[in-house]
A = this chain, B = another copy of it.
Amino acid sequence: MSTPRATKVTPLSGFPEYLPEQRVVEQHFIDVIRSTFELHGFPSIETRAVEPVERLLGKGGDADKEIYGIHRLADDAGAGAPARESELGLHFDLTVPFARYVVENAGRLAFPFRRHQIQKVWRGERPQEGRYREFTQCDIDVVDVGELAPHFEAEMPLVMAEIFAKLPIPPMVIQVNNRKIPEGFYRGLGIEDVAGTLRIIDKLDKIGRDKVAALLVEAGRTAEQAEACLDLAAIRTEDTSFVDRVRELGVEHPVLEEGLAALASVIETGMAAAPGAMVADLRIARGLDYYTGTVYETQLVGHESWGSFCSGGRYDELASDGKNTYPGVGISIGLSRLLGLLLGKGLVSASRMSPSAVLVAVTDEGSRPASVAVATALRARGIPCEVAPAAAKFGKQIRFAERRGIPYVWFPDAGESGDQVKDIRSGEQVDADASTWACPPEDLRPQVLAVGE
C-alpha cells in the first residue's frame, strides 16, 4: 500500500492498460474464448508466472527470447548476484510452462490430455506497434503419451473458427499447411537442407518472391529448385484442389504424399464443419523448428499486414521425462495483439463502461436505506445496479448514470402507486416494482459491438 505521494505517473511503454470501457471489450473476448474452449471440452489450467531460467532458455540457450529474470530486492543488499542455477524468469509463452506442467503432473493427468490456458506472458522486447512486453495469450493443446491421433490436427482450427465467428471482428482466415509437404517436396527436388530452405521461404511475406529466389540460389539451391519451391509456396486453395496443383509440379516423394493426405483431411473436415474458415496455404512455414505436421496461421481479412493473430501446429516432442515423450498439437490466440489493432483502430467498442443496468436514485440521505432495499431486490433477480452516491438533484443523478452509460434510473416512491423507472435514453418513465421489473436482455450487461468500418 502506498502512502500518498505526488510522484509523476507515466505509462510504461510496452505494458498496455485499458480504461474500464476497453476492459469490457477485453473481458467479452476472454469470455467468448473461454466458453468456446469449454464447449469443446478443454479444461482450464493456469501455470505460475515463473520458471527456472534454465528451462526458459532451453538447451540452445537462445537469448532471442528476451526473458525477464526476477530477483528479490532484499537479496540485492547482500554480496554478489544470486546463484545462477536458482534463478527464475517470467514465462514468455504458455507452451514452455505447459510442457513442464505435463511432465510434472503426468501421473495425475488423463491422456490424451486437453487443456486451455489464458494468461499473461512477458518479453523484454523493444516495444513497437502490435508488440508488447506484457500480453495475453489464449492457448489450447492436446497432448498424448508416445503417439497422438491425427484427427486432433483438424480439431484445433475448428475451435478457433467458432470463436472468430462469435466475436465482433472482421472475418478471419485460418491458413493451414503441413510441414511434410514442403519437406517431401524439397527432398523430391533433391534439396537436403529442408530447414534452411523453409526459413528462406518464410520470408516471402516480408521481402517478396524475387528476393527469396535470390536468397535460395545464394544458399546453394539451383535456379530450377528455387523456382519450384516458390511455385509450391504460391498454392492457396479453399478446397482440396491444392493436391492436384502440387501434383502438376511433377515432384514425387513419399513424405510429400503423407503431407498432402494429412492436409486434405484437415481441409475436408474444415469444409464440412466451418465452410470458408480455412484455406490450404502452402507458403505457411512457421519459423519454429519443432513443428512436424500441420501448421496454422491466421489473418484478419483487410489487415493482412498485421501478421498472424492465431498460430500453432503439431509437434512430435513437446516434452520428455526420459521415459516418455509427449507429442501434441496446439494453437494460440494473441489476444493483446488482436485487441491492440481493434481498439487502436476503433473497430470495436462497448455499449457502456459500467456493469450496472440501473442506478437507484436517492431522494434524501434519510431514505437511502429504501434505495438500498430496491437495489438488493433487483440484484436478487440478477439485475446489476448501484445506488446513487449522493442525494443530489435528480438531474445530477441522471447525469451520473449518463456518464457511465447506465441506461435506467430508478426513483423510489416517485409515482402515485410507488416506484418509477426512467429509460434515460428515451426519457420514458413508467411505474415499476423491483420484485417484477425487467429490462430487455441486451440492456442487462454491456454489449460489445463491431463499429461499422
Contact = CB atoms under 8 A, between A and B. Distances in A.
A69 B109 CA distance: 34
A170 interface: no
Q: Which of A2, A69, A72, A319 has the most CB of B within 10 A?
A: A2
Nearest to A6: B322
A15 B48 contact: yes
Contact of A1 (B67, B95, B162, B389): B95
A83 interface: no
A5 B72 contact: no
Chain A, interface size category, equals 35 or more
A40 B406 CA distance: 13
A292 to B, nearest CB: 12
Interface in A298-351: 315, 317-322, 325
Interface string A368-382: 110011001001001
Interface in A346-400: 353-356, 365, 368-369, 372-373, 376, 379, 382-387, 389-390, 400
B4 A39 contact: no
A18 B46 CA distance: 7
Interface stretch (A97-105, A209-217, A230-238, A275-283): A97-105
Nearest to A105: B19
A68 interface: yes
Contacts of A253: none
Nearest to A93: B1
What does DSSP make chain A's interface, helix, strand, loop or mixed? mixed
A247 interface: no
Contacts of A45: 17-20, 23
A47 B17 CA distance: 6
Interface string A3-26: 111110111100111111001101
Contacts of A376: 273
Contact of A89 (B73, B112, B383): B73
A114 interface: yes
A39 B379 contact: yes
B5 A40 contact: no
B73 A68 contact: yes
Contacts of A435: none
A88 interface: yes
A79 interface: no
A32 B102 CA distance: 29
Nearest to A356: B41
A207 interface: no
Contacts of A403: 110
A75 to B, nearest CB: 8
A7 B63 CA distance: 19
A9 B389 contact: no
Contacts of A93: 1
A314 to B, nearest CB: 13
A245 interface: no
Contacts of A99: 2
A404 B320 contact: no
Q: Which of A20, A96, A289 has the most CB of B within 10 A?
A: A20
Nearest to A3: B58
B59 A369 contact: no
A50 B12 contact: yes
A149 interface: yes
A23 B60 CA distance: 33
A10 to B, nearest CB: 8
B11 A320 contact: no
Nearest to A372: B273
A43 B12 contact: no
A386 B114 contact: yes
A76 interface: yes
Contacts of A68: 70-73
Contacts of A50: 12, 15, 134
Given A355-B38, A386-B114, A104 B9 contact: yes
A410 interface: no
13 contacts: A1-B95, A2-B58, A3-B317, A15-B50, A17-B101, A19-B105, A24-B44, A41-B356, A66-B72, A66-B73, A69-B71, A70-B71, A74-B124
